[in-house]
Every structure is written in C-alpha cells, then in structure tokens.
C-alpha cells in the first residue's frame, strides 16, 4: 500500500502514546506517595496508579480488536484518543487518590483502543521489509518520545506532581492529525484467508507468553527504579525522569540496530539475546552504589528491551491472516499489559524477602534462567524441523 510521510508520522505519534501512557507519571510516584501519606498502604496504591491502566487494557483490548475488525480502524482510534486525553489529564484536576486511580482505569480504555488500532494499521498499511522497518522505527520513536516526555514529567513533578498529568494533553495534537492523514484501509483478501487458526497451534501462545514476560520485566524500571535511586544523595524527581529517559535512548538505538539482527536470527533467538542483556542490566543496578552506576544498568536494560519491543508484533503478523489481524493483535495487547500490571505484584514478594536493591539481582537471575529455557526451546524446535 502506498504511504506518505504525514501518514507515517501521525501513526508513529499515535503509537508513541501507548508505550508512554503508564511511564509518564513514574517520576512523580514518590511525590504522590508523600502527598497522600495519610492513606493506608499508600506506597502500594501509588505503584498501582502506574500499572492500573494496564489491567483495564488487558481486559478491553481483545474486544477492541474485534470491534476494529468490524467497525473500522479510524473511528475507534478517534474515540480512543478523546478518552485518553480526558482521562490522562484528570490527575491534574483531582485531589482524591481513589478518584485519580479511577481516572487511571478509564485511561486504560483509551490506551487499549489506540494501541490495538495503531498496531493493526501498521499491518494494514505496510508489508514485508517496509513493515519490519516501520516496526523498528516505531520502537525507536516510542523511546525518543520517552526521552522527551518522561524527563519533562520529572521536571514538572519537582514543581507540583499534579502538573505531570498535563503531559497526556499531547494526545489532543494527535487527535487533530488523525482525520486528515490516516485513512481506513481496504481489507487484504489475497492470501492466508483459508489458513485460519490451523497453522498457529502452540506457537501463538509462545508469542503471547514471550510478550507478557518482556513487559513484566520491562516495567520493573518505571515502577521500582524511582524508589531505588531516590535513596542516593541529591536525586530529585527530575533526575529520576532523566534516568528513565536515558533508558529510552538506548531502547531507541537498539530498536533501530536490531533490524539487521532480526534478519539473521529467529524470533526465539532474539528473545534469548534480549533477556541476557536485560539480566546484565539488572545485575549492574543491583550492585550499584551511585546514581551514575545505576544509570549504566538502566542503559543496558534498555538495549535488551529495544531488541524485543518490535519482536512480538512482527512475529504475530507473520502468523495470522490479515482479515483477523485486529483480533490477534488485541489478544497480544492483553498479554502486553497484563505483564505491565503484574510487574509490581510479581516483584513485591521478592522485594519483601530480599530488599529493593537485592531484588534487582534476583530479577537478573530469573532473566538468565529464561534465556536458558528459550535456548532449549530453540534447539528442540530446530530438531523438529
């Protein structure tokens, strides 16, 4: 399908909103926790504020996928952007922790629609190497957006944590662009329509599980890192935002460079590489004694994540028929955001047992074990072919 630059930029901006949706408020978490320190279990509730949208997304995304297959992509995208803008900025106006949490739930509705629609449109608009290139560009653009928005959110959080929520207003700009530059794609009917689910089997579940694990370990950074590096002398919310923003730089570089690797390695092999890099990064964070050393670890984690962000989307697009693309990408979105939501829940028992710093070391060990498991799966798969 022919494309143009305004279309590509608009689609990249829409996609960027989804990856940033939860992480934007990460630098303000300690400030929000302090502001509501009279609320019972405030630290746990504050961390939940970061990941609660993910639960809504996990529930809604598969239904959004079916809706966009039946009702069209652009209509759903516009409605989702309106919800995102209103719910995202609600934390600026609200002063009740539980109402802010409710606003985060509603935000998840918007993110579910945007993410499912924008990813499906990538599959609709692009094919072959162009699609693969755009997916890598999408990952890089998400990361560069993080470099701009998350440090900005950190700067605003040092003034007042309420101001952090204004960053979500960027979605309004995307909302203005969509009707002019994106169009409803025609359904591709020329191949794969009779293959249905027969060729998917266990492989589709491996895609879902792999994506779930990637996001589960990824979101340890925005959820846990702010509380960890705030213990170092002189670290402000702005420096927390800069640390996460620097990770986005390494993520962007990795997303771009991994394009060549994906041409040589299988999807499973990419997960082995990504998990090993993440393991090394978390190990460095776990042994860090200063802000700068922790940032080095964060950069290495970013390289691992950047190699994996496009992986699941490309994998699933290579498997599913185009007419059912929304349905399967909706399910993939569910597993992505379940991973985000489960991240603080999964790490909390480890943190309680070992302490926050040593929990990073434990996570490093778990990722190394995963890399070994994927290596075994790869070997068994190659023997069976």
- Residue 186 above 60 pLDDT? yes
Mean per-residue pLDDT, 82-87: 95
Position of tokens 């047992």?
353
Q: What is the mean pLDDT of residues 93-106?
A: 92
> Whole-angstrom Cα distance, residue 203 to residue 133?
23
Residue 100 has pLDDT above 60, yes or no: yes
Over 50: is that where the pLDDT of 136 sits?
yes
Query: What local confidence, expressed as pLDDT, does residue 81 receive?
Result: 95
145 vs 265, residue with greater confidence: 265
DSSP conformation letters of 244-277: HHHHHHHHHHHHHHHHHHHHHS-HHHHHHHHHHH
Q: Averaged over 180-204, what is the pLDDT? A: 61
Using the predicted structure, report yes or no on whether residue 184 has a pLDDT greater than 90: no
Q: What pLDDT score does 308 carry? A: 87
pLDDT band of residue 352 (cuts 50, 70, 90) is confident
Q: Can you tell me the mean pLDDT for 68-85? A: 90
Q: Is the pLDDT of residue 192 over 60?
A: no
How confident is the model over 299-350, as pLDDT tens digits?
999 999 888 877 888 888 888 776 777 778 878 888 888 888 888 888 888 9
User: Which one, of 118, 111, 149, lies nearest residue 135 by Cα?
Assistant: 118
- The answer on pLDDT for 188 being more than 70 is no
Which of the given ranges, 127-141, 155-169, 192-206, 223-237, has the highest pLDDT on average? 155-169
Does 101 have pLDDT greater than 70? yes
Q: Is the pLDDT of residue 23 over 50?
A: yes
At 163 the pLDDT is 93
- Phi/psi zone of residue 128: left (φ > 0), alpha (ψ -120 to 50 degrees), beta? left
- Note the residue count of the chain: 385
Domain spans of the chain? 5-384
Using the predicted structure, report yes or no on whether residue 51 has a pLDDT greater than 50: yes
Residue 260 has pLDDT above 50, yes or no: yes
Q: What pLDDT, on a 0 to 100 scale, did the predictor assign at position 19?
A: 65
**pLDDT score of 384:** 43
pLDDT of residue 195: 44
Higher pLDDT, residue 200 or 261:
261
pLDDT of 139 over the 80 cut: no
For residue 194, pLDDT beyond 50? no
**Concatenated DSSP letters of 93-130:** H---HHHHHHHHHHHHHHHHHHHHHHHHHHHHH--HHH
Q: What is the model's pLDDT at position 197?
A: 46
Q: What pLDDT does 198 receive?
A: 42
Give yes or no for residue 382 having a pLDDT over 80. no
CATH of domain 5-384: 1.20.1250.20
**pLDDT-wise least confident of 82-86, 290-294, 377-381:** 377-381
How is residue 160 written in tokens? 């007042």
Confidence band (pLDDT; 50, 70, 90) for 94?
Answer: very high
pLDDT of residue 103: 94
Taking the C-alpha atoms of residue 370 and residue 375, their distance in angstroms, rounded to an integer, is 9
Q: What is the pTM of this model?
A: 0.74
pLDDT at 29: 83
Distance CA 235, CA 357 (A): 16
pLDDT at 70: 79
């Amino acid at each position: 399908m022919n494309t143009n630059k305004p279309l590509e930029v608009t689609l990249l901006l829409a996609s960027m909103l989804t990856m940033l949706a939860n992480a934007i408020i990460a630098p303000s978490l300690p400030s929000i926790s302090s502001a509501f320190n009279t609320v019972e279990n405030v630290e746990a509730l504050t961390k939940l504020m970061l990941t609660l949208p993910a639960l809504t997304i996990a529930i809604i995304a598969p239904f959004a996928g079916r809706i966009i297959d039946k009702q069209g992509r652009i209509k759903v995208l516009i409605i989702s952007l309106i919800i995102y803008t209103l719910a995202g900025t609600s934390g600026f106006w609200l002063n009740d922790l539980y109402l802010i949490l409710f606003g985060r739930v509603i935000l998840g509705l918007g993110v579910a629609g945007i993410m499912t629609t924008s990813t499906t449109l990538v599959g609709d608009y692009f094919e072959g190497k162009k699609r693969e290139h755009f997916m890598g560009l999408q990952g890089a653009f998400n990361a560069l957006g993080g470099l701009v928005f998350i440090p900005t959110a950190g700067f605003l959080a040092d003034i007042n944590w309420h101001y952090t929520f204004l960053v979500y207003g960027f979605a309004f700009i995307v909302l203005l662009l969509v009707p002019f530059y994106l169009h409803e794609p025609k359904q591709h009917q020329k191949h794969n329509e009779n293959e249905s689910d027969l060729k998917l089997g266990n492989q589709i579940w491996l895609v879902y599980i792999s994506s779930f694990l990637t996001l589960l370990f990824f979101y340890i950074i925005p959820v846990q890192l702010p509380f960890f590096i705030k213990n170092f002398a002189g670290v402000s919310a702005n420096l927390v935002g800069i640390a996460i923003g620097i990770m986005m730089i390494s993520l962007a570089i990795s997303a771009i460079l991994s394009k060549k690797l994906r041409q040589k390695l299988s999807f499973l092999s990419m997960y082995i590489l990504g998990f090993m890099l993440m393991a090394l990064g978390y190990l460095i964070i776990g042994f860090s004694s200063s802000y700068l050393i922790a940032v080095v670890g964060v950069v290495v984690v970013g390289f691992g994540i950047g190699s994996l962000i496009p992986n699941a989307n490309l994998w699933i697009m290579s498997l599913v028929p185009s007419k059912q693309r929304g349905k399967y990408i909706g399910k993939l979105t569910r597993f992505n955001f379940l991973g985000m939501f489960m991240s603080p829940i999964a790490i909390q028992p480890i943190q309680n047992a070992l302490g926050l710093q040593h929990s990073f070391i434990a996570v490093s060990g778990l990722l190394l074990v995963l890399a070994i498991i994927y290596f075994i799966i790869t070997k068994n798969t190659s023997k069976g072919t």
